[in-house]
Amino acid sequence: MNLNTPNFSRFTHDGLEFAFFDEGPPDGVPILLIHGFASSASVNWVYTGWLKTLVDAGYRVIAIDNRGHGDSDKPHDASFYHCSAMASDALALLDHLDLAGAHILGYSMGARIAAFAAVQSPARVSSLVFGGLGLGMVDGVGDWDPIADALLASSLADVTHDRGRMFRAFADQTKSDRIALAACIRTSRDSISREQAAHIFAPTLIAVGTKDDLAGSPQGLAALMPHATALDIPNRDHMLAVGDKVFKQAVLEFLAEAPTP
């Protein structure tokens, strides 16, 4: 087992083929990782040290490349990218692995997908970690159309929108399919309602960087949920919080107290 370059496998769901890895002890407590927009399982979870951290703690670590990302299929039709569909992909991976349930850790868009999975199939979610998304889960995170425009621009030099430049540069760095990502960002911004948040009963940790101007307040979201705790990740913005050691330690402590799947 090489935690720097895990072996990816594939499965089919909803007419699409998905890449995923499944590492750590087969009898370990399973945790499903769902990456953020324009990222991938490797970028979000391997290169940041999460895979090693969780495997060293004895967990069975499963991570999916979301549709439109990584080595999974990348349709260019925006109708494929609603969060409910991507949540069904994550749950289908649990089916593929014959797992009744798991802890779920999602970052940014992945946190939104995790929330939809908890709404769709609460019995399968033992606990939740929402990284990089707080009250924006229910209130939205602003106008992202300029990001789609930035992804479709001829080059980074043509992009003047600050947030658009950030995501375009990230997409270029990860050699992503920018047409698929532009389609994804147009329809993956679905929000859960306050009522739905109030009915997510799984223990939940909501962790957001103190310099994150995208996520919204973690305390604000935690106040809407019956069993949620907020964590401020000190001096981290949206891009840097994901691999932070404070975040990792808090997740390990949270999982140690969470119900076993």
Q: What is the CA angle 202-21-227, rounded to 5?
A: 10
- Report the C-alpha dihedral over residues 108, 160, 176, 54, rounded to 10 degrees: -30
Residue 112 placed within a domain: yes
Return the structure tokens found at 253: 């402590």
Residue 178 placed within a domain: no
Residue 148 placed within a domain: no
Task: Give the H/E segment covering residue 28.
Answer: none
Quote the pLDDT of residue 56. 97
Q: Angle, nearest 10°, between helix axes 109-120 and 83-96?
A: 70
Residue 168 placed within a domain: no
Outline where 121-160 has alpha helix (H).
Answer: 136-139, 145-152
Q: How many CB atoms lie within 10 A of CB 250?
A: 18
Identify which of 71, 48, 201, 69 has the alpha carbon closest to the alpha carbon of residue 131: 48
Domain containing 250 equals 8-136+191-257
Q: Report the chain's terminal Cα–Cα distance, integer Å.
A: 24
**What is the DSSP code string of 193-245?**
-HHHHHT--S-EEEEEETT-SSS--HHHHHTTSTTEEEEEETT--TTTGGG-H
3-state secondary structure of 252: helix
Per DSSP (E only), the strands in the chain are 8-13, 16-23, 30-34, 60-64, 102-107, 125-131, 204-209, 228-233
Answer whether 88's CB lies under 8 Å from 120's CB.
Answer: yes
Residue 48 placed within a domain: yes
Quote the pLDDT of residue 57. 98
Tens of pLDDT along the chain (261 residues) come to 667 889 999 999 999 999 999 999 999 999 999 999 999 999 999 999 999 999 999 999 999 999 999 999 999 999 999 999 999 999 999 999 999 999 999 999 999 999 999 999 999 999 999 999 999 999 988 778 899 999 999 999 999 998 889 889 989 988 899 999 999 998 998 999 999 999 999 999 999 999 999 999 999 999 999 999 999 999 999 999 999 999 999 999 999 999 998
Residue 198 placed within a domain: yes
Quote the pLDDT of residue 189. 87
Residue 142 placed within a domain: no
Return the structure tokens found at 70: 């990584």
- CATH number of the domain to which 59 belongs: 3.40.50.1820
- Predicted TM-score of the model (pTM): 0.96
Answer whether 113's CB lies under 8 Å from 129's CB.
Answer: no
3-state secondary structure of 164: helix
Return the structure tokens found at 68: 């439109």
Give the count of domains, the chain.
1
Return the structure tokens found at 57: 């703690």
Residue 156 placed within a domain: no
